[in-house]
Amino acid sequence: MLRATLKSLLARKLRLALSAFAVILGVMFVAGSFVLTDTLGRSFENMFDSAYAHTDVVVAPKPKVDGQYAGDSSPVPGVLTAADQAKIEAVSGVVAAHPIAEAEGARVIGSDGKVVTTVGPPRLGSNWIDGVGGAEIRDGHAPQNDNQVVLNVEQAKKAGLKVGDQVTVLTPGGKRTFELAGTFGYAGGLDGRGGVLEVRFTDKVAQELMLGEPGAYTSFDVDVAPGQSAAAVRDAIAAQTGGAYEVKTGAELAKSIADQFKSVLDGLNKVLLGFGGVALFVGTFLILNIFSITVAQRTKELALTRALGASRRQMIGSVLAEALVVGLTGSVLGLLAGLGVGWVLAMVAANVSGLILAPIALPMSAVIAAFSVGIVITVLAALLPALRASRVPPIAALQEVATPDRPLTKLSVGGGLVTAAGVALMGYGLTGDGHLWPMLGGVMFAFIGVALLSPLVGKPVVAALGRLFSWSVAGKLGRLNSGRNPRRTAITAAALMIGIALITAASTVLTSGDESLRGAANREVHADLLVTGQNSTDVMPTFTRSTMDDIRKIPGVASATSEVYARAMIGKNGHGVSIIDDLPAMAAQFSLKPASATSGTLSALGPNDAIVDTETAVDEGVRVGDTVKVVLPKGDPVEFRIAAIYAENDFYGGYLLGSAALTHLVSPDPAVATITLAGGASESAVRDQVGRLLADNPEVSVMTKGEYLDQASGQIGTLLTMVTILLALAILIAVLGVIITLWLSVLERTRELGLLRAIGLGRAATMRMITVEAVVITLFGTLLGLATGVGMGAAVVRSLKGEGITDFAVPWSQLTAYLVAGALVGVFAAVLPSIKAARTDVLKAIAYE
């Protein structure tokens, strides 16, 4: 039996190669994402290991603000002084504690006048200390006075600056121009630490510009006496200073930072695996279809085998063995391809970020995932066709081959039930805080259910679609062919449906989000201009506080408010807070209203007043008139009076503090300003004037409300494009399915094609016939996908009502574009099969068997 199986495998190598191709693509995606994240993870590890290789122990202050709130990973820098340094240097085993004053937000303006940007890594400003952390001057010399700085080699290259040039740096403490005294790198020939861009000043300038506090430091780099272990000294410092500091060895620090990166990579891996999963899910349909068609076409052969005495079990075994071979081959090749793809992507990522890539390796996780996924999926998909093969009666060998049109009742009832289960699961997954797994399971069930229903739905839809093309004979024949085998057409179309549905759902949700934002902006925002920056790192670009005074002086400006984001401890909890310099004006600009008649007023608020939204007030147990103690990153606790409790809206929630908080921040510079114009003032004139005030700050710009909303739409468009690109593989596999199905159909209908050619159907018309069949299938799949996708999108939008997505919008223009793309995909898929059909040799086709 095995030999017979292998022989029949070889006889059908093309279609098996094609089904293996689907496995290869899916496995490639999965394995590739493991390889990518593993390689990047090890690269980060190596990078931080080498970055801290020359650091024995680091001492940092316990942060005043336990600043870890959602979305924030870096703790608030606290402040150390020379007194702390003396304390630490007194500990036995400590040779020296080098004081470091470092903070994020030193942005260099390059020779082209633009701010040097990074994709992710921070832009740090600190003081230069010879030899600490393995830093070494490469060119020129260390900063010798307050007008000199050094840049790391990578930064100097990016900025296009040479030693001796003037270099302008934007810092939290303002903009300043220096002389570039030199460039530096790190031991081991590194030009920087993994894409981090650095500016090193003298101690005094670093303290002034980066920390806003003379004599302050952020950490100490401790040298350990020869013969002492870093861990022992760490413990000694901790013990002898009474736990006043956070003390870590260089190795620990490297690990904890690398772990942060790794958790980001883990998230990335999950997202990629999700998309890989979709591709494999679609691949299942394709394999199922290929095996079904093959079994159908081999009915006679299978029946003969049965007649010769093969048992049912042997029949199932032979089909599954075939699937196993396909799955195994696909997994091995997919794994290799994944290794290649992962490596290439890692190289691209390294190139963009300046990371030094660790040697490529095949992680065990990739191997396990590749084989389990590849084989399990193929065998699962072949199970149904295998059962069908085992049910072929021996008598079929003698009968005329006619695939009877089995009734669809059972299938449709099953489909209905599965769809209902899927919808219910999805509904459950979307309620409350959201449950990811039920939701994903629901989506999968819904897809399977719709796929099962699709033969039933397909009959009328395919007939109606086909009618569009029936004006020519070729079109009519194509239409009839696509209606010929409802299950085959339906499965092929359903595979395409999945990708289209997910894109459509994403598009629906994002469009609804965009619409909701626009709606909310039009309802709630009464400001006309917005000043804000583009942030490429965690830190939002800011502009100098004095600019606010200049803006308020511009004729035509009715009110202008600014906002500074900060982290603060309020009571026992860390909060992200906004400090607003003119709370009443801001409340008016964003339609903030007191939550109830007893919630205070928003019209007269002083510098020491704070307002808070209802939900936070309940959570924190604060009431109007209460005084709260607020610890800001710098300085001592400040008391604020809760002047009002406001109803949260689409733009504001949480604590909003008055201007008294400004002096307790590292930098009072605002990240955002909103401007309301006086009646009759020209928007563009004011906009231009504000623009001129910001001219020397290339990272910050002024926008009208409309421009801001368009920019938000643009970002949504970018997100959608990314989702589409990631789903392209699933769609590609579905298109592959269309090609294979058509190809097999063409083979199956060789005789008919010969006949048609013999009675005068031209080559072009033959190709048109196949193309119409393909387009009908892909259009059907697209329509199914659009309908399912809009449905899923609507469900998600409903569940996001509380998150500010209040309007449901159907992205008609996108849907139309997808429909057109669906038709084009059909034309594309038809190319090979239609050439094959047009090449049918009439003589061979009509030769009697």
Partner 1 sequence: MSSETTQPAAARADGIWKVYGHGEAQVHALRGVSTAFDRGRFTAIMGPSGSGKSTLMHCLAGLDTVDAGHVFIGDTQVTGLGDAGLTKLRREKVGFIFQQFNLLPTLTAEENILLPMAISGRKPDPQWYDLVIKTVGLGDRLSHRPTELSGGQQQRVACARALVARPEVIFADEPTGNLDSRSSGEVLNFLRSSVHDFGQTIVMVTHDPRAASYADRVIFLADGSIVDELEKPTEGSVLDKMKSLDPGQSPDAATGGADV
Chain residues binding partner 1 by CB under 8 A are 402, 473, 476-477, 480-481, 483-484, 751-752, 755-763, 765, 842-843, 846, 848
Residue written as tokens 């300043």? 176
CB of 478 to partner 1, least distance (A): 10
CB-based contact 322:13 (threshold 8 Å): no
CB of 463 to partner 1, least distance (A): 12
Based on CB atoms, which residue is closest to partner 1, 593 or 763? 763
Written as one string, the DSSP assignment of 291-338 is HHHHHHHTHHHHHHHHHTT--HHHHHHHHHHHHHHHHHHHHHHHHHHH
Based on CB atoms, which residue is closest to partner 1, 231 or 755? 755
Cα 604 from Cα 582, distance rounded (Å): 10
Residue written as tokens 């633009």? 114
Based on CB atoms, which residue is closest to partner 1, 599 or 840? 840
| Pairing status of strand 103-104 against strand 529-533 | unpaired
CB of 317 to partner 1, least distance (A): 33
Largest CA distance in the chain: 103
CB of 758 to partner 1, least distance (A): 5
Half-sphere exposure of 484 (CA within 13 A, CB side): 17
CB of 475 to partner 1, least distance (A): 11
In SS3 terms, 330-364 reads as HHHHHHHHHHHHHHHHHHHHHHHHCCCCCCCCCCH
Based on CB atoms, which residue is closest to partner 1, 10 or 843? 843
Cα 738 from Cα 342, distance rounded (Å): 28
Residues 110-135 as b or e (16 or more Cβ within 10 Å = b): beeeebbebeebbbbbbbbbeebbbb
CB of 844 to partner 1, least distance (A): 10
CB of 391 to partner 1, least distance (A): 22
CB of 762 to partner 1, least distance (A): 4
CB of 458 to partner 1, least distance (A): 16
> Reduced to 3 states, what is the DSSP secondary structure of residue 196?
coil
CB of 771 to partner 1, least distance (A): 16
Half-sphere exposure of 367 (CA within 13 A, CB side): 4
Cα 459 from Cα 464, distance rounded (Å): 9
**Strand ranges (DSSP E) for 697-848?**
700-704
Based on CB atoms, which residue is closest to partner 1, 757 or 836? 757
Based on CB atoms, which residue is closest to partner 1, 437 or 848? 848
Based on CB atoms, which residue is closest to partner 1, 17 or 758? 758
Cα 163 from Cα 141, distance rounded (Å): 9
Based on CB atoms, which residue is closest to partner 1, 484 or 798? 484
> Reduced to 3 states, what is the DSSP secondary structure of residue 217?
strand
Based on CB atoms, which residue is closest to partner 1, 222 or 761? 761
> Would you tell me how many other CB atoms lie within 10 Å of the CB of residue 409?
9
Based on CB atoms, which residue is closest to partner 1, 756 or 792? 756
Q: Which two tokens stand for residue 82?
A: 């020379």
